[in-house]
Structure 1
Amino acid sequence: MRIIYTILLIVILTISFSKAQWQQVNSGLPGTSVFGLATDGQYIYAGTSNAGVYRSSNQGNNWTSANSGLPSSNAWELFSNNDTLFVGFNGPGAFRSTDHGNTWDTLTVGTLNSSVRGFISNDKYLFAATWGNGVFRSSDGGDNWSVINNGLNYLTFWDIISLGDTLLAADNGGGIYRSTNNGNNWTQSNAGITSLITHRLTTLGNYIFVGTSNGGVFRSSDSGINWEQVGLTSQTIWALLAYDTLLFAGTSSAGIFISYDYGNSWLTFNEGNPLGPVVELMYDSTYIYAATLAGGVYRYNKDNITSADEISTLIPNAFKLYQNYPNPFNPTTKIKYTIPDVGSGLAMTLLKVYDILGNEVVTLVNDYKTAGSHEVEFNADHLASGIYFYKLQAGSFVETKKMILMK
């Protein structure tokens, strides 16, 4: 039976992904190395190698130069914010356009006019993460900037995201830096991260994800305080994209992967893609776009992506116990596990919770379970704060994980 389910999974995914392929859309681009992508709803923009910014009004079918006032160098970062477009160059230079790239203003990000790798904004500030000079902040849309490096021991950043007043910045050697006061102070926040060369950050649902060098993808459910490794462990992740309930990862050497379950499992997503280095992912109303270092820009029609609901009905091929979510929690948390086909159709399943001394606290599951994904809620309202363990026993499979109750 397991073979049948595995074949079914392969057939469904093959049929779905073969409806459309990644299409190369480079007409008018000056080369095949593209670093950044952005859209403002009217145009999509591409940051190119040694040729600045190009734009397309027809979703990549044709590209034209949008370089008036820009240097002929590597346009690394593009960011669209309320009809204003920002670009950071891989080399000193940051610029702003309020007319869809027709003209550009020069921004002096710090006294050294830093190489900007990441822009982000919240309702108070615009932030710029730089390569070599740390993080800068502007309260007037980019006219003036102040350095906000208090607590930063490493200053070479790849990306930055905002969760209200909380900021997370991904550093090339220092891992994740976290600020809860708009950058006034920073602390390293790497609990659980094994690779401190961190690249792209994104959010999906209640999770934050970061891609690392040779360490794959890590996930946090507590605003970046603690992290867990969730796959692609040997890959260098240069790009992450959250779309709907889907997570995409662009790698340095193996193309693109997709996750339908918040990073718990991954599938290759490379139909038509030459598996070159993928450095940026973006979407608009119709397509997912990929910027690559060897093939330029690719796009994939979103309508041809198998839905998460379809994938969730497929039978898993292994027992698995997932980390509870949220963790830490107060007072409820959810525990997910999967049961493969075991031949008889049912697997005797025990899921129990223990305190730190090994005393049994509660039995959550004691029943025969069918093959598939299962989830149970644990309410610890009557328990004291502390560390607890939950253990799954199903057939010959046994696994235990730790969770933290914090009241």
Structure 2
Amino acid sequence: MRLRTLAPGFVIILSTAMLLTACDSSETTAAKTVSSIALSPSTATLIIGGTQPLSVTATYSDASTGALTTGVSYSSSATAVATPSADGIVTAVGAGTASITATVSGTAATTTITVVAPAPTVTSIAVTPTTISLAPLTTQQMTVTGTFSDATTSALTSGVTFASSAPAVATIGGTGLITAVATGTTTITATHTASTRTANVTVTVVAPVADAWMVSGGTAALNMQSAWSRGTTTFVGAATGVYRSDDAGATFRLSNAGNDAVGPTRGFADDATYLYSSASQGVFRSSDLGVTWSLRSSGITELRTSGIVKAGTRLYVVGPSGVFRSDNQGDSWAAAGLAGVDVRSVAALDDVIFVGTNGAGIMKSVDFAATWVPSNTGLSGTTFRAVEVKGTTLFLGGENGSSVFRSTDSGNSWTQLAGGLPTTSVRGFASDEQVIVAGTFGGGVFYSKNNGDSWTALSTGLTDRTIFDLVISNGFLIAATNTGGAFRIPLSALK
């Protein structure tokens, strides 16, 4: 402190602080301002109903930074998609994209919010087949389908558990494969773990009856349209692809790798090297007895084929656009006549080719499909969906009212057969040296042991009597049905 005398009776007292203040008063401090702001996160994806807090960071004129919690205003470019609160909490409202803008003293920053609908949840499940009857030691694959909250449906291939109420009757594996153990009844329950939804199916295991049909394991409720046998292996063609059996048709499994045909497999043929299938998307070929397949349709102009046959060294495939021939095991095909004719069936008697058409009767070629001639003497009707060669005898399957015709002179003339046959159309045949078997549309199965002179019904146990094809394999007769899958019966039942 300092004392100073100005005049008698007056004293000025100056403190150090006053002196310092006087010294500093000449310096003015400028207030810092916001140069820019940043909004975090810069992008975010929310489910409808979800929220996202935003944070604002300011960069000041003096290069310093700091979080801002006040003085910020928020806006949305699409309030129907996302809305921000006054304190920076964004709420997802509806599916879409919105820009959220934060503003501080005229300075702005934006973040992009994408809003998506929540993933649909499983509301119910269903299993197929809905009823299952098996013989002991046979199997059946279950399929589980989920119905979702958005009304869509989809097969559930994971996240499902299975349980059997009576494992001594039938067991079930983690993929839904049921194995029949002993006679009795059990309930199989499928549970979708995430939603806890369940579905049940009753499985009945019955002892096989010697003279009755039994459904083949793995095929229940499937649409089957063709059947074939090679050695000890049996094949059936379904709307879902090719199924293979190594136990004389007791059980089948899907054997379709490389065959992506959508729609039915309507025929088979084979040679010493390959197995061929005629499908709705062309011809497929397998070199490993149906384990894997490759498309072999080069040159076929209408891929929706109806049948295939091997005659000599050549293959013939038929369909709505006529006949096509391959001389190189299916590597390439060439048109072989009957262009524009809807051909439904094909068979070969040595090198003579017979085709059944939809509306044009039977056509025959003796020159490797170079030319075709009608072969209709004695026939009634013009549509024939099945042709069978038994030795040197030909059998035709006609439409309603015409049933079965037989020719013993290479198709030069035909005789209509009756003798116990129904008047329903015949869609498939099977034969060996002792028997000819016919499958009808809705009437079941009939067989003859006297070359077609008389016929006996054979339908006990068939729950679906619309038969599209048949095959004899390893002591059993196997039938491909419209909606019931494949059935088999021992040949000993054909008395």
User: Which is further off, 154-163 or 264-273?
Assistant: 154-163
Matches within 5 A, 1:169-318: 169-214=355-400, 215-231=402-418, 232=421, 234-306=423-495
1:160 is matched with 346
Find the aligned partners of 2:212 and 2:386 in 1 and give their Cα distance: 25
* CA distance 1:154–1:178, shift in 2 (3 Å): farther
Asked if 1:23 is matched to 2:214, the reply is yes
Deviations 1:277-314 (A, max 9, x none): 000000112211000012111111113321xxxxxxxx
Find the aligned partners of 2:210 and 2:283 in 1 and give their Cα distance: 40
CA displacement at 1:106 relative to structure 2: 0.8
CA displacement at 1:34 relative to structure 2: 0.9
CA displacement at 1:99 relative to structure 2: 0.7
Asked if 1:34 is matched to 2:220, the reply is no
Find the aligned partners of 2:494 and 2:231 in 1 and give their Cα distance: 22
Match of 1:97 among 249, 267, 286: 286
| TM-score (norm: length of structure 1) | 0.66
CA displacement at 1:83 relative to structure 2: 4.4
Find the aligned partners of 1:65 and 1:129 in 2 and give their Cα distance: 25
Deviations 1:337-356 (A, max 9, x none): xxxxxxxxxxxxxxxxxxxx
Matches within 5 A, 1:50-61: 51-61=240-250
CA displacement at 1:60 relative to structure 2: 2.6
- Partner amino acid for 1:185? T
Deviations 1:175-204 (A, max 9, x none): 100111111100111111111110111122
CA displacement at 1:206 relative to structure 2: 3.5
Find the aligned partners of 2:415 and 2:383 in 1 and give their Cα distance: 15
- Partner amino acid for 1:73? G
Q: Secondary structure of the residue that 1:303 maps to in structure 2?
A: helix
Matches within 5 A, 1:122-133: 122-130=311-319, 132-133=320-321
Match of 2:264 among 62, 65, 74: 74
Find the aligned partners of 1:270 and 1:30 in 2 and give their Cα distance: 17
Structure 1 unmatched runs, 5+ = 1-17, 307-407
Find the aligned partners of 2:414 and 2:399 in 1 and give their Cα distance: 15
CA RMSD of aligned residues (A): 1.9
Structure 2 unmatched runs, 5+ = 1-208
2:120 is matched with none
Deviations 1:248-280 (A, max 9, x none): 110001101111222122111112123520000
1:338 is matched with none
Equivalent pairs: percent with the same residue?
Answer: 27
Find the aligned partners of 1:64 and 1:207 in 2 and give their Cα distance: 34
Find the aligned partners of 2:364 and 2:481 in 1 and give their Cα distance: 29
Find the aligned partners of 1:269 and 1:117 in 2 and give their Cα distance: 27
Matches within 5 A, 1:307-346: none
- Partner amino acid for 1:273? L
- 1:236/1:252 contact within 8 Å kept: yes
Find the aligned partners of 2:272 and 2:214 in 1 and give their Cα distance: 29
CA displacement at 1:79 relative to structure 2: 2.3
2:330 is matched with 142
- Partner amino acid for 2:229? T
Q: Secondary structure of the residue that 1:121 maps to in structure 2?
A: strand
Q: Secondary structure of the residue that 2:389 maps to in structure 1?
A: strand
Q: Secondary structure of the residue that 2:243 maps to in structure 1?
A: strand
| TM-score (norm: length of structure 2) | 0.55
Higher strand share: 2
* CA distance 1:153–1:68, shift in 2 (3 Å): closer
- Partner amino acid for 2:214? Q
Q: Secondary structure of the residue that 2:355 maps to in structure 1?
A: strand
Q: Secondary structure of the residue that 1:53 maps to in structure 2?
A: strand
Find the aligned partners of 1:109 and 1:284 in 2 and give their Cα distance: 32
CA displacement at 1:38 relative to structure 2: 1.5
Find the aligned partners of 1:153 and 1:189 in 2 and give their Cα distance: 18
Find the aligned partners of 1:20 and 1:234 in 2 and give their Cα distance: 25
Q: Which has the higher contact order (CA 8 A, sep 6+)?
A: 1
- 1:173/1:196 contact within 8 Å kept: yes
Find the aligned partners of 1:136 and 1:205 in 2 and give their Cα distance: 25
- Partner amino acid for 1:144? S
Find the aligned partners of 1:162 and 1:76 in 2 and give their Cα distance: 17
Q: Secondary structure of the residue that 2:492 maps to in structure 1?
A: helix
Q: Secondary structure of the residue that 1:116 maps to in structure 2?
A: coil
Find the aligned partners of 2:364 and 2:309 in 1 and give their Cα distance: 14
Decide which structure has the larger Cα Rg and report it: 2
1:332 is matched with none
- 1:213/1:236 contact within 8 Å kept: yes
Find the aligned partners of 1:254 and 1:124 in 2 and give their Cα distance: 37
Deviations 1:79-133 (A, max 9, x none): 23324111121x3321100112222111115342522211111223111112x11
